Structures are given as structure tokens and as C-alpha cells.
Structure 1
Amino acid sequence: MKTLPSFIKIGLILAFQFSFAQFTDEINSNRPGRSMMAFSVGKTIIQAESGINYVSEDHKALNYKANGLLGEFDIRWGLFFEQLEFIAEIQYQKDTYTTANFEKDRSALKKTLIGAKYLLYDPFKNYEEKPNVYSWKANHRFKWRQFIPAVAVYAGANLNFTDNPYNFAPSTVEEAVISPKAMVIAQNQFGSRWVLVTNIAYNKIGTDFASIDYILTLTRGFNKRWSGFIENQGFMGDYYSDGIVRAGAAFLFNKDMQIDASIGKNIKDTPNLISGGIGFSWRFSKNYQEIKMEKDNGSKMDKKMKKKGKKEAKKRKDAID
């Protein structure tokens, strides 16, 4: 995301996120996609992102079905530096599991993940493109800089303190109480409306459930209120490998609130997964203080000519006096 997106991954508003600070005029939520953007919410900012989804699971080979609700709740907190963000992610699922022989209700924390993200590189920091007053064509030419992504790194820990009935591994394989997750995040802005977010992660490192995962999210801003996205997520592990395609839209209710909706479907039938839901993101920014960072004032020659001009102006003023 999905970034200066007012809506979780919103291309149009995202354009402004590539300014010198992480904070943006509009909320930049990771919803409704599943990817994590490279930029943080901003120092002292607290942001909550939540959603409720209907989930349907149908396994042809094992002949079972499960239908129910999945609740999501994420807290993002910018602390210490503009580039640093702490994140807590929680998923709770409650469903009914049905086979040919019996039916039972299930409920558990499906995911509990705590981590931190740090922005390493912003290609637009201290960069200011000066317009060409003589050429419309020069101002609208293709810009290669947009292929240089902003880059961030993430480190976190999965927590599992209870039996999780939603694991895809056999019941004889016990999941670790704590397992690490590491991720690299890249974010590109193409023009003023398109944003591409790429996440590559190594999850549950050192356990039987370890997997290499990826998420690609492409977002387009339609106007200052609406944006849409498409997304592909992949899992590559010993016990579970799959691909999921999602699509959805987000609406900026005001500068600190966003609502969204999305739907997703995987590519296999062992099991066949379908989900759809709505979400809400809210930002508390009352304590934020704008951080002013020095901009690049131009080339050495520009600075030299500017300095020379000041000296000549001073000489003229002294001569008049």
C-alpha cells in the first residue's frame, strides 16, 4: 500500500507522502490491502486500523467447510524518529467447522504479531524538481526517478500462547510460542495517482511453519476522496503454499478517518478460500509537531551565483548610501 495515501494505499494522496517528513495531511492507512507501506505514520502519531470480514473455507480433498467472521485490529505508533514506527497486529476468527460426521464451533487468535519498521531510504528526500518555464514537454516528460523505490525494513515476533485451530499443519506439529519475522518493503510512486508497494518477508523463522511470503499492491487514486487497489499475496512454506488475489476501494471520510471495502480469493481448492469485508481507520494526530527539514537549495554553481548576487547587491546599496 498500501501512500501518502489517504486511504491505505492511495496513489493520489500518496504523492504528498514523499515529502520531507513522514506525516501527511491525510491519514495513510495500510488498509484495505495486506501489504505494509514503507513510510511511517509520523512521530507521536497513533493510528488504529480495523476490519471485519466474512470468511469461507472449503477443502475438496479433506471434505470439510468452515464459515465465519474474522476481526482485524492493528495499532501503529510513530515513536522517537519520523522514520520509525511500532506496529501491533491482531486477528481473531470465529467460525463453524463442518465435516460429514460432525460440526463444531471454533474461535481463537489467528495472528498476534508485534514489530517495528524503519525507513532506510526516501528517493524524494531533499529533492525538489524545478519546473522548466520554457517547455511544457520538459515538465511532462517521463521521469526515471519514479523507478527508485523508498525502502524500509521490518522486524517482528509472532506470539502464540494458545492452541491455534487455524494452522494448516497436522495437529501433531506444535507451533512455537515466539517466532521471528523479517521483511523488506519497497514503495514506488508512478506519477501522481499510482503507487506500487512490495513486501518480501521471511516469516516464523526457524520453525516448522517457516515460509517466504510476498505481497504486491497497486493503488490508484481516482480523486481526493476515492482510491482503488488490486493485490497479489503469495505464501511459500512446507505446510502451506498458495496465492491470493484481492481488490477493493477506500473512501477518505475526513483527514483522520477512512472507510474501506475489499474482497479476496485464493488460486487453489485445498482449501478454497473466499473473504470479503469492510474496515475503518482512524488517526490521532493532536500531539504532532511539524518537523522542518532543510531542503537542497540547488547545485554548487547555483549557490555560488546566489552568493555573488548578494555581494553585488550589498555593494550597490553601500554606494547609494
Structure 2
Amino acid sequence: MDLRFFKKTLFSFCLVPVLANAQYTDVINSNRPGRAASAYAVGKNVAQMEMGLLYEQQDNASLNTDSNILGVDFAFRYGLLFESLEINVEGSYISQGITYTQTGTDDRLTDFSRSRAGLKYLVFDPFKNPENNKPNLYSWRANNVFQWKNLIPAVSLYAGATFNLGENPFYVGDPTISYRGAVATQSRLSPRFVLISNIAYDRIGTDFPELSYAVSVTHAFRDPKWSVFIENQGIKSDRYSDILLRTGVAYLISPDFQADFHLGSGFKNSPSRIFAVLGFSYRLDFHKDTLVPIEDQKSGENGKIKKNASKKKRKKKGKKDKDEIDF
């Protein structure tokens, strides 16, 4: 692999939906729109589906072909065992109609262009300690401007497998199972900006391993239901290499339902790519807080001081002092 490919793209930015600073959030935590994945999981006992309908115009100057692609992106995510662990299954199923411009003949390829499953685990969260996230009670500006400490990212690790089932025309000769590893980071640039970056090594063990990155920046408007993103993705493989740019919007319909739309294109002509995706994310929230609400607490729960505890302690100490006196 030519690592200089990545040095050329250090200036690039990418976008992904704005996410909160904890594993579980009161509103849906979606990886849509775009392809960069958040460092955070959906939360324990949260089941989430993310889906998009895509259309792509793809022309290849070197092969003299014009293509129209229709397909579906999908992802199923579930918070497993504890807050920082997530299992996910994701893929893309497409139908590509190809016209060979020199001969005028047509062909159609239909199969999975992406199919994988894996586990993601949050290994470091700079906001896990609430002391690091306390607001400044004396300055609105201090809470709403860039702070260097916010560049310290949350970091998660991903391990999984890519599947090539049957005679897939998009990956001829690849084994049924190959392996994939990735690192995802997430930083909060300000209360309204989030930076996410991914580095992944995919199809390990095949003749065409794939190295990729994605960088995404998301901005939430004053109306928190709306957000916009811009994303840069780079792919390097002997089979296919390109740099892709995406931008789009997301709208929060309800705390558990988000809709999104984005456009994108590549920068090559072998093939050239222009695409549009309309999607949504929906979650079934079975998450339960481990802390008891204050109004339901008994004395001493969740760190609450027991009623009359100090008075009883003083009485006990006074009695002990009397017992120690010898008249």
C-alpha cells in the first residue's frame, strides 16, 4: 500500500451526525448520513436500524461503459452487554445496469457491493469523567468557543469480517470471509461542531486488501432538529481507488426517528461517480438507567445522605465519650 495516498489528504474534512458525549443519548445516535462511523455505541439494549435508498451515475472512460445504479444501504446496530460495546451488521445491495458504448450492448450486475458484521468497543472517552465537562457558570463565551481540550478524541476499536456470498460479480475470486479492522475517533470542536475520523483496513487475506479513511464534520443549527455535514472519504486498493466528497442534511423527526439526504461525487474518470442517497434511522429504545430517580430514592441511594445520619452519629459519639469517663 502507498501510504503517501493518505498524506495528501490530511487537509480534508468529513461530516457525520452530531452526537452526544455519552454512550446512551436521549435522541437517536445515527451514523447517517455519510460513511464515517461514530466512536460511540448506541447504548445498552438499544436496537437501531439505518437505511438509505441510493441512485448513482457511473461512467468508466477506460472501459467505455455507462452505468446506472439503484440500491439500498442498510445497517443494524445493537448495544450489547454494556454501554461501550456495539454489534453491527451493515451492507449495500445494488443493481448496476451497464451499457458498453462501443458495441451498444447492455449488461446487469446485481449483488452485495458491501456486506460485513463486527463489534465496536469504546476504549477511551475523555468525557467519561463529569469533572472534564462542567460548564463555566460565569462565562457564556467560555462555554461556546473552541477549547483545545475538546480536540482530545473519544476512541473506539472495530473488529469484524467482510462476507462474499455466492458468485459475487463485484468481487470475483475473493474468499467467502475476509477480515476487517478499524479505528474511529470523535472530537467536539464546539457545542455545535463534531469531528469524526475513521481509518479502516478491509478485505484482509484477499488478493485486493483495501485501506480507507473517512473524515467528517457536522454542524447543528440553533434549531437542534437540523444539522448539515461534509465528508471526505479515501479508498486505496489495487482493485479500486478514489477520493469521494459528500455533503447533506439530517432532520430529527422524533427522539427515535431521523431522516437524511446527501449528495456526493468522486474525483476520477475511471470510473466517474455522482450519487444521491435518501435515508432514515429508527431505534427501539429498551435502555434502562442504572441510577434510581431522585424522587424514587430511599435514604442513602445514589450517594444521598441518610436522613438524621449526622445527628445519630453525634449521639453515638457522645455516648462513647461518657462511657470512657471514670468517676
TM-score exceeds 0.5 = yes
Q: Equivalent pairs: percent with the same residue?
A: 41
Distance 1:24 1:274 in 2: 34
- 2:21 corresponds in structure 1 to 18
Distance 1:211 1:292 in 2: 44
- 2:83 corresponds in structure 1 to 82
Note the 1:111-190 alignment, pairs <5 A: 111-128=114-131, 129-133=133-137, 142-167=146-171, 174-190=173-189
Answer with 1 or 2: which has the greater Rg: 2
- 2:109 corresponds in structure 1 to 106
- 1:202 corresponds in structure 2 to 201
Structure 1 contact 9–28 (Cα < 8 Å) conserved: no
Give a deviation string over 1:178-232, Cα, whole Å, max 9, x none: 0000001100011111011100011111211102100001111112110010000
Q: Secondary structure at the match of 1:217?
A: strand
Distance 1:155 1:193 in 2: 30
Unaligned runs of 5+ in 1: 1-7, 294-309
Q: Secondary structure at the match of 1:145?
A: helix
Distance 2:274 2:159 in 1: 29
Q: Secondary structure at the match of 1:146?
A: helix
Letter of the structure 2 residue corresponding to residue 108 of structure 1: D
Distance 2:242 2:136 in 1: 49
Structure 2 contact 16–231 (Cα < 8 Å) conserved: no
Q: Secondary structure at the match of 2:204?
A: coil
Runs of 4+ in 1 over 4 A off after TM superposition: 129-142
1:27 corresponds to 2:28: yes
Structure 2 contact 150–188 (Cα < 8 Å) conserved: yes
- 2:321 corresponds in structure 1 to none
Unaligned runs of 5+ in 2: 1-14, 293-308, 319-327
Distance 2:62 2:138 in 1: 67
1:264 to 1:141, Cα distance in 2 relative to 1, 3 A: closer
1:148 to 1:65, Cα distance in 2 relative to 1, 3 A: same
Q: Secondary structure at the match of 1:39?
A: coil
Note the 1:280-291 alignment, pairs <5 A: 280-285=280-285, 287-291=286-290
Letter of the structure 2 residue corresponding to residue 90 of structure 1: G
Give a deviation string over 1:97-144, Cα, whole Å, max 9, x none: 110321022211221101110000100112334455555665566522
Give a deviation string over 1:240-269, Cα, whole Å, max 9, x none: 211000001000000000000001100100
1:311 to 1:195, Cα distance in 2 relative to 1, 3 A: same
Distance 1:215 1:135 in 2: 35
C-alpha RMSD of the superposition? 2.5
- 1:40 corresponds in structure 2 to 41
Structure 2 contact 41–83 (Cα < 8 Å) conserved: yes
- Number of matched residues? 284
Distance 1:83 1:201 in 2: 20
Give a deviation string over 1:52-106, Cα, whole Å, max 9, x none: 0101110011100110202111100111111000000121101211103210222
- 1:260 corresponds in structure 2 to 260
**TM-score, length basis structure 2:** 0.81
Structure 2 contact 17–31 (Cα < 8 Å) conserved: no
